[in-house]
Structure 1
Amino acid sequence: MSLARRPASELPGDPAQLRLVYSHGHPAVPYEDEDTLEHWRVSIRAYHDEEEECADGCTDACQQLIDNGSEAGWLRLWRLRDNTGADRWMVADAQSGDLESIAATVLDDGEYSDAFQEIIDCPVGDLLILDRVFLARPWRGFGLGPVFAAEAIRRLSGGCCAVAAEPGMAEWPENRDEVNDADRATAKAKIAALWESIGFHAFHGGVQLLDTSLQESIDLHRARRKDLEDLSAAYRAHLEGRPALPELAVTPPASPATPVPAATRQPPAPAPEAEAEPGDGLAAAASLSDLQRKCTFSGWSPGDRAAALAVAAQATHDTDLRQLAAQVKHVHFGLRDAWTDAITFPGRLFNVHPFRENPAALGPLAGLWVYGSNLNGRYRGRSHAVGGDCQHARPLTPDTERMTLADLLDLTSFWEWNGPSCSFCHGWSGQRLTPDQHTHYLTVLAGHQR
């Protein structure tokens, strides 16, 4: 399963000849947080082959490239050490908001949370954090990010019970206001899929975890190495003017000769028209394709994926999703979140302002079913959305509250500054919109923005 999108002929060099150079420094006697949080920088470097002569003859610059190479990219990782006597959450918070977000998700009162211990096979040891992977533009689009991330994790994860990552925007335009929620969600989903290809699984609040004790990550690491070898072979074939090896063809592999048991057979791919809906995370027409896309690069079992897709196909505009959730209770928790995200949307993606100002504008949206953990404000604390969209989101269970969007807009207490609405996920999730609802929503939104 190659993750490459660009042809090997566009590579600036042989990717198999790149080298990863690891650097970490610390004082002989660590001070402050040095003993608890280790920073590792991995430089991805391209070197000039000392036995290769340039067409116009080598220069002093070539010798520099022979000796030191040039940087094609880099990775940033952190090791959060256990049992140092320091509060790991405070140490992470002092370093950056990104590290604090991860630490807050996996830790509870200084120890690994119950949810973390439930899914990590041996939750004892340090935590490695994959913070950033950067590639220079000429090297992007060939599926190299997961390859190098897997290599770095293999060498730095000794003594770590898990590796954590939180996918997000890798680069921002000069004007950040140009990036909307849909852009961020798309970027997050793409990067999450890349990390899933090396063994990460969704945890909570956008954080992904890789269990270092599982064979899965070893097998996926070998698969990514094979991807690199195949890409290198295709590049060399291009230089020599010969066809690439057969296994690099873009045609999909042949179907297995033996029939697939009905219990594990996956539903057919969604019709092309399902992809025609705007990728705003709101349209029900994209539910199956969104879930299928997340399943493609995941390590979830075929049986779990087939079950989740089959249950997702049962959802209609008036289905009580709490009842459907009981049918996927047995699948991997990351897949449960992906299933929920595919048939619902978090309130933060939906602009309620036009409808709060004029409830009569709801039209077909009045009967839209919404879900949350505390919509009525009966319990202490705020209401949160369902699924894996934000660290505050909750799983969809029979205890999840449900009401129509019209009823929710009538709850003045929900929208007050100190009401139960979570400021991150906006406190609720909606059932994905039917074509009529989606068209009406876009029409009202367009009129409101004039």
Structure 2
Amino acid sequence: MISPKRSVDDLPGDPRRLNLEYRSWHFVSSEGDRQGLDEWHVSVWANRFLDRPKWSATKTVQDDIGSMRFFRLRMDDRFSPFPFADAESYDTGLSNLVLGVYDLGGGGYRQEFRDAMTCPDGDLLVLFDVRLEEAWRGFGLGPILASEAIWHLADGCSAVATGTHPWESVGFRRHVSPLGHLLDPGSGEARALRDERRRDLDALADAYRESLRRGRPRRP
């Protein structure tokens, strides 16, 4: 269980009312398909109720409180790692993550990667960056949200790589160079940690509602 650094009384809203929106797009051409790359933007929304006159319908609004960005690299004959070496087109950090597990000479994954993963023949998912509004930080929500997004997008992936926030509580483990931080979706440990983060969310939400029952003023 993750221990929050801040009091639950400081939570801006109910954690159970958070939701994730997934967006991806590509150009309508054969070029995009041959690239073998999917970019995903995940928005984090907080639902809240607006105060309404008695007997009127309740109105709900959504606040944008964070985001995550993922890249899914399809390991088939469409994928080439070379575009990631171009710093003008792609961030060098992303290039290093991809080239760390990909064998430029032989093609496919490095042998070190194949030896380390449970099922080394799937795609590679990269957690590239994470943003969360300051008011929502310090409660352990970062790993909870990242875990949910990872498991939603990682179906069919052999691994998840990251160069940012390598949370051990989500399942990322440091491997010898050049592999870096990887999460193995096929491992029992990673699946168990996903369930733990969901229990963390339930515990945080229960504590938030208890703080309201104690008389904490509801935030606007």
- Asked if TM exceeds 0.5, the reply is yes
Partner of 1:42: 42
Partner of 1:240: 213
Contact 1:36/1:91 (CA < 8 Å) preserved in 2?
no
Q: Secondary structure at the match of 2:43?
A: strand
Supply the distance in 2 between the matched residues of 1:103 and 1:42 (Cα, whole angstroms). Answer: 21
The 1:119/1:10 distance shift into structure 2, 3 A limit, reads: same
Supply the distance in 1 between the matched residues of 2:30 and 2:9 (Cα, whole angstroms). Answer: 48
- What whole-Å deviation, never above 9, does each CA across 1:385-413 have from its counterpart, x for those lacking one? xxxxxxxxxxxxxxxxxxxxxxxxxxxxx
Contact 2:23/2:42 (CA < 8 Å) preserved in 1?
yes
Supply the distance in 1 between the matched residues of 2:38 and 2:30 (Cα, whole angstroms). Answer: 11
Partner of 2:170: 198
Q: Any gaps of 5 or more consecutive residues in structure 1? A: 168-190, 243-450
Find the partner of 2:72 among 71, 79, 85.
79
In the TM superposition, 1:145-294 aligns within 5 A as 145-167=142-164, 191-192=165-166, 195-203=167-175, 204-205=177-178, 207-241=180-214
Contact 1:18/1:45 (CA < 8 Å) preserved in 2?
yes
Contact 1:26/1:34 (CA < 8 Å) preserved in 2?
no
Q: Secondary structure at the match of 1:48?
A: strand
Contact 2:38/2:71 (CA < 8 Å) preserved in 1?
yes
The 1:30/1:4 distance shift into structure 2, 3 A limit, reads: farther
Q: Structure 1 residue 74: deviation in Å?
A: 0.6
Find the partner of 2:108 among 101, 107, 111.
111
Contact 2:34/2:78 (CA < 8 Å) preserved in 1?
no
Letter paired with 2:201 = L
Q: Could you list the runs of 4 or more consecutive aligned residues of structure 1 that deviate by over 6 angstroms after TM superposition? A: none
Find the partner of 1:93 among 66, 70, 85.
85
Q: Structure 1 residue 103: deviation in Å?
A: 1.2
The 1:16/1:90 distance shift into structure 2, 3 A limit, reads: same
Q: Secondary structure at the match of 1:238?
A: helix
Q: Structure 1 residue 206: deviation in Å?
A: 7.7
Letter paired with 2:169 = S
In terms of fraction of residues, the more strand-rich structure is 2
Letter paired with 1:71 = D
Supply the distance in 2 between the matched residues of 1:161 and 1:124 (Cα, whole angstroms). Answer: 6
In the TM superposition, 1:4-83 aligns within 5 A as 4-32=4-32, 35-49=35-49, 53=51, 66=61, 69-83=62-76
Supply the distance in 2 between the matched residues of 1:90 and 1:11 (Cα, whole angstroms). Answer: 44
Contact 1:38/1:78 (CA < 8 Å) preserved in 2?
yes
How many pairs align?
208
The 1:122/1:54 distance shift into structure 2, 3 A limit, reads: same
Supply the distance in 2 between the matched residues of 1:214 and 1:143 (Cα, whole angstroms). Answer: 23
Larger radius of gyration: 1
Contact 1:146/1:224 (CA < 8 Å) preserved in 2?
yes
Letter paired with 2:199 = K
The 1:230/1:218 distance shift into structure 2, 3 A limit, reads: same
Q: Structure 1 residue 7: deviation in Å?
A: 1.0
Higher relative contact order (CA 8 A, sep 6+): 2
Partner of 2:130: 133
Q: Secondary structure at the match of 1:42?
A: strand
Supply the distance in 1 between the matched residues of 2:22 and 2:42 (Cα, whole angstroms). Answer: 5
The 1:85/1:37 distance shift into structure 2, 3 A limit, reads: closer
Supply the distance in 1 between the matched residues of 2:46 and 2:134 (Cα, whole angstroms). Answer: 14
In terms of fraction of residues, the more helix-rich structure is 1
TM-score by length of structure 2 reads 0.86
The 1:84/1:164 distance shift into structure 2, 3 A limit, reads: same
Higher alpha-carbon deviation: 92-101 or 30-39: 30-39
The 1:28/1:230 distance shift into structure 2, 3 A limit, reads: same
Q: Structure 1 residue 231: deviation in Å?
A: 0.6
Q: Structure 1 residue 29: deviation in Å?
A: 3.1
- What whole-Å deviation, never above 9, does each CA across 1:8-64 have from its counterpart, x for those lacking one? 110000111111011111234342577422110110001233xx63599x9xxx95x
TM-score by length of structure 1 reads 0.43
Q: Secondary structure at the match of 2:67?
A: strand
* Aligned sequence identity (%): 36
Partner of 2:218: none
Higher alpha-carbon deviation: 107-116 or 222-231: 107-116
Supply the distance in 1 between the matched residues of 2:67 and 2:179 (Cα, whole angstroms). Answer: 23
